[in-house]
Structure 1
Amino acid sequence: MSIPGVLYACHFYIRHFTEGIPQHHCRIQNQTSAESLFSRDGRHGDLLRVSIPMDKAGKPEMCLRFTEPQWQLLNANVTEEARLATEDCLDGWVYDKSVFLSTIVTEWDLVCGQKLLKSTALIMLSAGQLAGSLVFGILSDRFGRRTILMCTTLMVTITGTCAAFVPTFAAYAILRFLTAAALIGANITKNCLTLEWTPIERRVLVNASNVYAYSLGQILLAAWAYLVRDWRWLQFSTSVSYGIIFLFSMALPESARWLISHNKLHMAVKTLQKVAWINGQKEEGRKLTPDGIMSHIQEDLETVKSTSHFRDLFQTPGICKISLCIVSLWFTTGFSVYGILLDFQKFGITIYLVQVLFAIIDLPVKLLVSISMSYLGRRFTLIFLEIFSGFVIIIDIFVPQDMTVLRMILAVLGKGSLAGALSCLLLYTLELYPTEIRQMGMSVGNTAMITGNLFSSIFHITGHYIPILPSVVSAMVPILSAIAASFLFETNGLQLLETIQETENRVKRPQSQKGNVSEDVQEQPTLLLAEMTQAEDSV
């Protein structure tokens, strides 16, 4: 299941390249060529100088041009101090193609007076993620992991491919909404299905392979976008390749845990026997029978709801506490990590290198996080990362602006620790919720993170008026969220639970890890019967 993570990262971060804003200036009057004059050498440089006013940095203004050529500016003794007559870019713009051959910005001239339309594309993307997190999470708990995974991956392939050929920006924005909704739905469903087929001792290893797949996808995308610099071909190639996941999902078995929790015992037995046969455990698979399973789980099935609802996340005291803490953690982590990513834009590194650096930064952090989760536990690891990232941002506030290298190092540390917190949350959230509402709980967490991203982008507008305020809030938010993490119980070494009632019982017990493990082993002849566990261990 690592291949979907690679392609998910490619599709998720593609907007940095398909929606990039290249340098641009007004098209010069009577200019017949679309070639930019950014080189400013020889005759081209003179023509640019007399036709386009310069900003304070000595670069051509992006949204203004002189009403008529100012030939006197070629005289070295003449400056542009006098207020010369200017006008808007009545004949359109010319774009620098040294970084991007084309983007949606150059396609539909989303600059100057139309630049807010580009923000619309980002809003539609975030709105799609919010909708997909909620809708597909509920549908997955109701109709099954495999079914929703197939639907969402097919939807990503179709809508993403169509977005590469649309003639208007409005159609592009609508398709991006649908693609984002399906993309986040496919990702959280894939993560849930993977966890439910993974035995306890391999959860951290499988989670590490998933999060490393995202980093590998970012590196792959940087090379992909460098070779394919036309936005339509880049959009088309990444979308078509996502069809690989659809073909792959057709061969995947449905979650046996989901089938059992929904009283589909015959299908669960067939699925477990198929998995046992694939893994060379055919004899073990033959021992499984619906009657055998029923004898172990009859009492537990009576507590399983046939249909899950959103209110189940807040209806009982234990689940409600978990949900409130999870929402707080996902929201605050999303808020702070997005704020740090906004600060990276000031370092002036080529976008392809930035993409690679972001991925490389995550590699050692995620390795350390995986080790820490295995030996120190999920809760301790998460609390440490949240507090550490908060203090790193606080230190950055007091570093002078001209110390660029130190500020970049601090930004890298902050971003890395928050990325580690997200990888920890990815596993921790799935382990905390029972099977009957696990996908819904993960969806709420993803929704909270996306909401945090939106609030962060809006809140950073206040930086124009109070420069220090966004940094202070971004620093305090993760530190406060660590308090929420302290109210959660440790899941390291514990079996996954199937029902809300089982989770309520676990929440009420003393929260020492050893006590939890010993009691959990004793109570576990519930839905995780011995025969099923043997088949899962062979996966």
Structure 2
Amino acid sequence: MAFQELLDQVGGLGKFQVLQMVLILPFAMMIICQILLENFTAAIPGHRCWVPLLDNGTVSDNDTGILSPDALLRISIPLDSYLRPEKCHRFIHPQWQLLHLNGTFTNMTEPDKETCLDGWVYDQSSFPSTIVTEWDLVCNYQSQKSIVQSLFMAGMLVGGLIGGHLSDRFGRKLILRWCLLLLTIFGTSAAFVHTFLIYCSLRFLSGCSSIIILTNGMMLIIEWVRPPSKVMAITVIFCALSVGQIVLGGLAFVFREWRTLQLVVSVPFLVFFLSSRWLVESARWLIVNNKPEEGLKALRKVAHINGMQNAGDALTMEVVFGALTAIVRSLPLLVQNHMGRRTTQTLFMFLVGLSVLVNTFVPQEMQTLRVALASMGISFAAASFTGFSVHLLELIPTVLRARALGLDTVAGRCGATVAPLLMTLMVYLPTLPWIIYGVFPIIAGLVVLFLPETRDLPLLDTIHDMKKKNFLDLHRQQRAFPTLISMCPEFYWMIKNQ
């Protein structure tokens, strides 16, 4: 009996699937908070050099007379080209003569400046503290702020590679629960460290855990729903990610001290770890990995939750699992029902590239048109990504699906790393980066046409199924390829007699 038939018997979208999503979607929401956390915890507030006349509590009013703080700032900190106090330099000695200048004197010698040898003073009106103010990641040390974000992304890259293998080997639920516990430990610990190096290490480990939680949570939803409901499930997952961004903004508004915010977005994962015990392991994975009894037990449990009492007793498994048929026929977008996976992706990718290219040459004064084109491009990109996600799930067998999603994550992280670097090409031609951003989606859309079309076709569970599908295709095309059939008579005979 094909797994799809078993899923139909126990209920492909019932109370169980809703409960499974209710347990998993909060993971996704808070994972986005972890991914985007440095947007707030690493915010760079306004700052200037620490100077004794303004910031030394031991300097009395008699030392400075009746001078206002603005006057003291004027004689202590040089101005930049915009006549604002410089952020990274101060005068070596107070420049009292600047108080009496009514104009600009071209024959004046520029006062000697120095870097902020005694540290910085930060504007705390928006954020009382960030990792930037904690470890003075400004001026000559500002590049270290990017290191934190890069390490988290590198952690996601490594986690995608390792987590996919572990999930295919030990199961989705087990690895998910371990990573929930690990992220609780790493994230909470990061809120209490006082060493920048340790903080960076913990954020790297948090990145490793985060991507595994995200991919495994997605699989524990997708692998339990029927094909007609798969589009809805994927859409709900992506909506949860967007809600997570809103949640993070609200939390950052309430908890503005970075250690508190770090703690607030990490502690919930302990609750998620405890609640994850009620998740049900993917029966698809259990069956494919030669655990039919456990898979059957999971199916009966789902049948009971969905109110399919009779189905639980009627479920049976056949002896030859390598002949399992299609797992899913998901439809990521309504248009894919008519145009197919490849054509739809090519269309959306072409529209993404076209939107970018057209917007590149629209004059800056036509802001309304530019915003409209940018909005269209983002919409097409989101639709293309959703379609790609469905296509990817249909192309890869269950035994390799987690690893494939891990590689997909690696590719995404590589793209995120390379994209900002392309902006350096503006030195040679201001429009060159945008031309590249526009041309590459079009090329990628054309490359998609070389992938197999999966519309109305079942997904495979094992490598054996994939090989068998190739031989079946060869059998169907025997009239077009008589020479190949004559070269492989034993394979033709095997397929013909199955």
TM-score with structure 2 length normalisation?
0.81
- 8 Å contact 1:195–1:430 — kept in the other structure? no
1:85/1:142 CA distance change after superposition, 3 Å: same
Offset at residue 18 of structure 1 (A): 0.9
1:268/1:387 CA distance change after superposition, 3 Å: same
1:417/1:58 CA distance change after superposition, 3 Å: farther
1-structure distance, mates of 2:462, 2:332: 29
Matches within 5 A, 1:56-71: 56-71=81-96
Instruction: Give the corresponding residue for 2:431.
Output: 468
Instruction: Give the corresponding residue for 1:531.
Output: none
Instruction: Give the corresponding residue for 2:401.
Output: 438
Letter in 1 for 2:265: T
SS at match of 2:68: helix
Instruction: Give the corresponding residue for 1:54.
Output: 79
Matches within 5 A, 1:162-173: 162-173=189-200
Instruction: Give the corresponding residue for 2:151.
Output: 124
Deviations 1:435-457 (A, max 9, x none): 11111111111111101111223
1:154/1:74 CA distance change after superposition, 3 Å: same
Question: Which structure has the larger Rg over C-alpha atoms?
Answer: 2
Residue 386 (1) aligns with residue 349 (2) = yes
Offset at residue 370 of structure 1 (A): 4.0
Instruction: Give the corresponding residue for 1:488.
Output: 451
1:299/1:508 CA distance change after superposition, 3 Å: closer
- 8 Å contact 1:141–1:439 — kept in the other structure? yes
Instruction: Give the corresponding residue for 2:16.
Output: none
Deviations 1:205-259 (A, max 9, x none): 0001000001111111111111111111001010011223222321111111111
Instruction: Give the corresponding residue for 1:321.
Output: none
Instruction: Give the corresponding residue for 1:38.
Output: none
Match of 2:222 among 189, 195, 205: 195
2-structure distance, mates of 1:98, 1:408: 32
RMSD of equivalent CA atoms? 2.5
- 8 Å contact 2:186–2:206 — kept in the other structure? yes
1:371/1:225 CA distance change after superposition, 3 Å: farther
Instruction: Give the corresponding residue for 1:177.
Output: 204
Deviations 1:75-130 (A, max 9, x none): 46233865221110111111122322211111000011111211211221121011
1:244/1:33 CA distance change after superposition, 3 Å: farther
Instruction: Give the corresponding residue for 1:144.
Output: 171
Identify the range of structure 1 (114-123 vs 158-167) with the bigger mean alpha-carbon deviation: 114-123
2-structure distance, mates of 1:105, 1:372: 47
SS at match of 2:137: coil
1-structure distance, mates of 2:53, 2:241: 48
Match of 1:264 among 286, 291, 301: 291
- 8 Å contact 1:200–1:494 — kept in the other structure? no
Offset at residue 21 of structure 1 (A): 1.2
2-structure distance, mates of 1:403, 1:80: 42
Instruction: Give the corresponding residue for 1:5.
Output: 28
- 8 Å contact 1:200–1:493 — kept in the other structure? no
- 8 Å contact 2:54–2:73 — kept in the other structure? no
- 8 Å contact 1:66–1:87 — kept in the other structure? yes
2-structure distance, mates of 1:407, 1:87: 44
1:255/1:33 CA distance change after superposition, 3 Å: farther
Identify the range of structure 1 (80-89 vs 201-210) with the bigger mean alpha-carbon deviation: 80-89
Residue 28 (1) aligns with residue 54 (2) = no
Residue 186 (1) aligns with residue 209 (2) = no
Offset at residue 458 of structure 1 (A): 2.8
Q: How many residues align?
A: 434
SS at match of 1:390: helix
SS at match of 1:148: helix
- Amino-acid identity (%): 38
Matches within 5 A, 1:331-370: 370=333
- 8 Å contact 2:53–2:72 — kept in the other structure? no
- 8 Å contact 1:25–1:61 — kept in the other structure? yes
2-structure distance, mates of 1:249, 1:375: 38
1:191/1:31 CA distance change after superposition, 3 Å: same
Letter in 2 for 1:63: C
Match of 1:428 among 382, 391, 396: 391
1:508/1:416 CA distance change after superposition, 3 Å: farther
Residue 225 (1) aligns with residue 252 (2) = yes
Instruction: Give the corresponding residue for 1:454.
Output: 417
Instruction: Give the corresponding residue for 2:317.
Output: 293
- 8 Å contact 2:187–2:263 — kept in the other structure? yes
1:86/1:465 CA distance change after superposition, 3 Å: farther
- 8 Å contact 1:489–1:507 — kept in the other structure? no
Match of 2:98 among 58, 62, 73: 73
1-structure distance, mates of 2:78, 2:472: 71
1:112/1:453 CA distance change after superposition, 3 Å: same
Offset at residue 62 of structure 1 (A): 1.2
SS at match of 1:142: helix
Gaps spanning 5+ residues in structure 2: where?
1-20, 58-66, 325-330, 474-498
Offset at residue 403 of structure 1 (A): 5.1
Offset at residue 463 of structure 1 (A): 3.0
2-structure distance, mates of 1:414, 1:72: 56
Instruction: Give the corresponding residue for 1:17.
Output: 40
2-structure distance, mates of 1:375, 1:70: 75
Offset at residue 502 of structure 1 (A): 2.8
2-structure distance, mates of 1:215, 1:139: 28
1-structure distance, mates of 2:191, 2:179: 18
Instruction: Give the corresponding residue for 1:114.
Output: 141
Residue 157 (1) aligns with residue 120 (2) = no
1:141/1:187 CA distance change after superposition, 3 Å: same
- 8 Å contact 2:231–2:332 — kept in the other structure? no
1-structure distance, mates of 2:191, 2:200: 11
Identify the range of structure 1 (395-404 vs 213-222) with the bigger mean alpha-carbon deviation: 395-404
2-structure distance, mates of 1:80, 1:425: 64
SS at match of 1:65: strand
- 8 Å contact 2:397–2:463 — kept in the other structure? yes
SS at match of 2:52: coil
1-structure distance, mates of 2:73, 2:362: 39
Offset at residue 490 of structure 1 (A): 3.6
1:197/1:107 CA distance change after superposition, 3 Å: same
Instruction: Give the corresponding residue for 2:487.
Output: none
Residue 417 (1) aligns with residue 380 (2) = yes
1:28/1:410 CA distance change after superposition, 3 Å: farther
